[in-house]
Amino acid sequence: MRWRTAVAALCAIPFLQVFALPADLATSSNDGSQWPSSVAIARTLTTYRGSAAVIDGRTLWFPDKAVKVRLAGIDACELPQWAFDPTWRDRERLKAPAPVPCGPFAKAWLKRTVGTKGILCKVQAYEVEGTPQARCLSGGKDIALEMIRVGWARVEPATAPDPLYLSLQRYAMAARYGMWATYVLDMNEWRDKAVDKTLSRRPIADFNLLSERKVEISPPFADARKKPRRTDR
């Protein structure tokens, strides 16, 4: 499975550290440390520059302004969220397929993408609670686009998608990169249904949510339906 290759590539990265690591101070063109008011939002879209820590697979932290920035146009597994290897052989003995730590893997790939380079984030909009959504570059490369390319983020369905984002997502899905090689629950559905959202969440809880899923976002669901019901003839 391609996600297993990702595991090997990440073995030297402490990706199971779930808190953001200390980072160099970032510089910002925003002089205010508080969330902008609705009037200020209408007038100003901020730019943040400098080093940032990674909170999860779609969120950065600029420490000098105490501001978290969400990558615009994409979504990723939450840190406690599990996915599952579709290869489930011993069904009589095992209650669920092998779990895949989708949230930590997404965070690890974002950390790998950002590295130690400086980051430039241009805010595109603000979420209801005030979190900026930004298009962010690292080493001149679109960070969100890279996350889509490796299969650890998806195009945010609620936005007007960037055609290049969609194109790379189709490629990643066809190649079964990252989470696209797993059974994974739609992130928004997970946020709506998950009761325990702590980092000690057990995989079986997400397997139970998958059994009552409303939508199927990853290719292995369709692959499973194409398999013959019997293999003994």
Contact of 102 with 15, CB cutoff 8 Å: no
162-186 confidence digits (pLDDT tens): 999 999 999 999 999 999 999 999 9
Range in 2-6, 150-154, 181-185, 200-204 the model is least confident about: 2-6
Distance, CA of 75 to CA of 58 (rounded, Å): 6
- Note the pLDDT of residue 228: 56
Distance, CA of 182 to CA of 223 (rounded, Å): 11
In DSSP terms, 54 is beta-bridged to 60
* CATH match of 2-31+38-219 with 3.20.20.140: no
Better pLDDT: 76 or 218: 76
Q: What is the mean pLDDT of residues 6-16?
A: 44
121-149 confidence digits (pLDDT tens): 999 999 988 899 999 999 899 999 999 99
**Domain spans, the chain:** 2-31+38-219
Distance, CA of 29 to CA of 25 (rounded, Å): 13
Which token pair is 37? 């008011």
- Of residues 156, 162, 146, the one with CA closest to residue 114: 146
